[in-house]
Amino acid sequence: MGYYDVFSWFYDASVEQHYTEHRGLAAAALDLGPNSRVLDVPCGTGGCFAAILEGLGPDGTLVGADASKGMLAKAQKKADAAEWSVDLVHVDGAALSADQLGSVGGSVDRLLIFLGMSAFDDMDGTFESLWSLLEPGGLCVLVDVHTEELGFQGRMVNLTARADITRRFWEPLEKRAESFTKTEMPSAPAHGGTMTLVTGRKPA
């Protein structure tokens, strides 16, 4: 059983209160339409699902993927309780393939990576792989925390989330996307750094 399988049991109770507002801002940045096909990686316990589904019409589709079975089990429970239509895939983001996106025709037009870039073992490789699943013209939204210098709380966040919040997580998107934007979000000491939202469109 991996670290996040254990963390899944108290993840929502311990961290969710710090990110609710950011999930709404991320969903708004996705600029969702009635037919949007959204990939949310890592979806974790499904914390972003409600905000995304609010903007999706009945013909839209949402796929969530995560490397932790425990986190996905919580996401599935949440989806079942709310009767949400979400396809969940258990996979390392670096290995997610077009075949596993059958429900959305093998590719998506929206990609959300929320608190993932700081947590992926191989940030660049995983992003490259996920980016390849986004259609030309598609929109990518990244939300993460960043600090140049780790304070006590930053070290705690790194430890608790098995993350590295000193990463310049926006750079893989910045160098590939057009119409790149980078915005600071509301941040609190508990985040350990500055919550940041970046967006960019895959060149058509």
Ligand X SMILES: C[S@@+](CC[C@H](N)C(=O)[O-])C[C@H]1O[C@@H](n2cnc3c(N)ncnc32)[C@H](O)[C@@H]1O
Q: Select the residue interacting with ligand X from 119, 130, 134, 198 (CB under 6 A).
A: 119
Separation of alpha carbons 103 and 89, rounded Å: 11
Beta strand spans in the chain (E): 37-40, 61-66, 87-90, 108-114, 134-146, 178-184, 194-201
The residue from 18, 28, 73, 92 that contacts ligand X (CB under 6 A) is 92
9 token code pair: 């049991």
Residue 47 binding ligand X, by CB under 6 A: yes
Angstrom CA distances, 18 to 12, 93, 97, 159, stand at 10, 24, 32, 17
Stretch that binds ligand X, among 41-49, 128-136, 149-157, 171-179 (CB under 6 A): 41-49
Beta carbons of 88 and 112 less than 8 angstroms apart = no
**192 in contact with ligand X (CB under 6 A):** no
DSSP 99: G
Q: Which of 27, 30, 63, 71 binds ligand X (CB under 6 A)?
A: 71
Q: Which of 42, 138, 154, 172 binds ligand X (CB under 6 A)?
A: 42
11 with 70: CB under 8 angstroms? Answer: no
Indicate whether 94 belongs to the interface with ligand X (CB under 6 A). yes
| Closest CB 178 distance from ligand X, rounded Å | 25
**Per rule CB under 6 A, is residue 68 in the interface with ligand X?**
yes
Closest CA to 119 of 89, 91, 159, 75: 159
Phi, psi of 63 (to 5 degrees): -120, 130
Residue 169 touching ligand X (CB under 6 A): no
Please report how close the Cβ of residue 115 comes to ligand X at its closest, in angstroms.
4
Closest residue to ligand X, judged by C-beta, is: 44
In the complex, the smallest distance separating the C-beta of residue 196 from ligand X, rounded to whole angstroms, is 14
Residue numbers at the binding site for ligand X (CB under 6 A): 4, 41-44, 47, 66-68, 71, 92-94, 114-116, 119-121, 126, 161
